[in-house]
Homo-oligomer: A and B are copies of this chain.
Amino acid sequence: MTSPIPAGFKMGGFHSGVKRNPNKEDLSLIVCDQDTVAAGVYTTNLVVAAPVVWDRARTPSDKIRAVITNSGNANACTGEQGDKDNAELAGIVANKVGVSADQVLTMSTGIIGHHLPMEKIRPGLDEVFQRLGTDESNFEAAARGIMTTDKGKKVAARECEINGKTVKLIGMCKGAGMIAPNMATMLAVVLTDAKLNPVQAKQLLTDVTNDTFNCITVDGHRSTNDTLLMLASGKSGAGELSGESLDKFRAELHQLCEDLAKQIPADGEGSTHVIEINIEGCKNRDDAFRIAKTVADSALVKTAITGGDPNWGRIVSAAGYSGVSFDPMGMELIVNGHLLYRQGTPVKFDEKTVSQSIKDSFETDVTLKFTEGDTKVRYWSSDLTVEYVKFNSEYRT
């Protein structure tokens, strides 16, 4: 964190008792100084949590005043009671801010199918309001308050000059398991002091999500709660964005979201490698994306990387069953800069050198080139380890 907090927001975190560990915040609150532009993108899972239903109906907006997040409980598959609990959460926060419940957005993350422990959250809300502030420490507490199985907080910051003013962007996200690319795939909040209207905010968010939060996977399992929110206070003084200034802002937002998104597979449950998959030479984005996703989700590709094994047959065969039509003879595979496969035949390479290059680095680069066109896609996955299986088979037992 080198950049300070954009003007217009106060934030904080608090441990209310939803999580067992008393040192871990489980409430995260952002309060806006005045009515604020907000947009969101959400999971496309048919089975959605109460807060997703709530936020979808209330964004984009130019009247948002707060975002309250609880971690440790997803409030998903909780029926009518889940909707009531969520509305109560928004209502309590709204009362304290002195606005209507419709001006409060909510997010939840954690275990599915359990009712929110409101008896712990209600008093916790009083406390989190006491802890609001505009320092980095407040932001970091808020970022910890949205974590579940994450090893640490995931934050990023950017700034740029627009019309002679400094425009700031700051973001937090969480996610380590149940991660698949589909709109948002985790919880994330971006705060900026840029001046945007709700339609612009929504469009910007959709644009950058496609190449960032939509291009990551841990286990291909899409969550019920995925939410990415952006709040824009307009307090930078840079005025409304359009043309070149809007492009400049979009580039910064893109980089911020990429910085945040990559932290998720890098922290994938049990992961020992983040795998960057570069797909080049495809006919269109959809084709490139499908190949990338198929390679990224293959348990056999993931375990090969875990073992430092340049077992390229697994990568090439995964591309082959992606459902995309391509000339198999035109496919070329490069791992960490080493050519492993070309024109339908194995290439002679030093297995030990490639294996060592995988073992020596936390990031493995897998590049697949095709001869169908000139579309590229980048995608990030985590490897699959004994620890992932242990963790997820012993999650509750």
Contact = CB atoms under 8 A, between A and B. Distances in A.
Given A78-B345, A300-B178, A355 B321 contact: no
Contacts of A317: 45, 47, 76-77, 112, 178, 221-224
Contact of A77 (B178, B313, B397): B313
Contact of A112 (B74, B224, B314, B395): B314
A219 B300 contact: yes
Interface in A291-330: 297-300, 303-304, 306-309, 311-314, 316-321, 324-326, 328
Contact of A111 (B111, B313, B328, B394): B313
A108 interface: no
A47 B325 CA distance: 11
Contacts of A178: 300, 314, 317
Contact of A180 (B316, B321, B328): B321
The secondary structure that dominates the A interface is loop
A76 B313 contact: yes
A392 interface: yes
Stoichiometry (number of copies) = 2
B114 A328 contact: no
A74 B313 CA distance: 10
A54 interface: no
Nearest to A396: B309
A292 to B, nearest CB: 16
A233 B43 CA distance: 55
Contact of A297 (B81, B220, B326, B344): B220
Interface residues of A, number: 70
Contacts of A303: 388-389, 392-393, 395
B397 A307 contact: yes
Nearest to A222: B321
A108 B385 CA distance: 30
A390 interface: yes
> Most chain-B Cβ atoms within 10 A of its Cβ — which of A44, A45, A319, A325?
A45
A139 interface: no
A261 to B, nearest CB: 19
Given A77-B316, A392-B303, A309 B44 contact: no
B397 A78 contact: no
A192 to B, nearest CB: 30
A363 B128 CA distance: 48
Given A47-B320, A221-B317, A345-B81, A311 B389 contact: no
Contacts of A265: none
B45 A320 contact: yes
B392 A77 contact: no
A1 interface: no
A239 interface: no
A324 B319 CA distance: 24
Contact of A298 (B47, B220, B321): B220
Contacts of A8: none
B344 A79 contact: yes
18 contacts: A43-B321, A46-B321, A46-B324, A77-B345, A79-B344, A80-B345, A113-B313, A114-B346, A182-B321, A221-B298, A221-B300, A221-B318, A223-B317, A300-B392, A303-B393, A385-B389, A386-B390, A388-B389
Interface of A: 43-48, 74, 76-81, 111-114, 177-178, 180, 182, 219-224, 297-300, 303-304, 306-309, 311-314, 316-321, 324-326, 328, 331, 341, 343-346, 355, 384-386, 388-390, 392-397
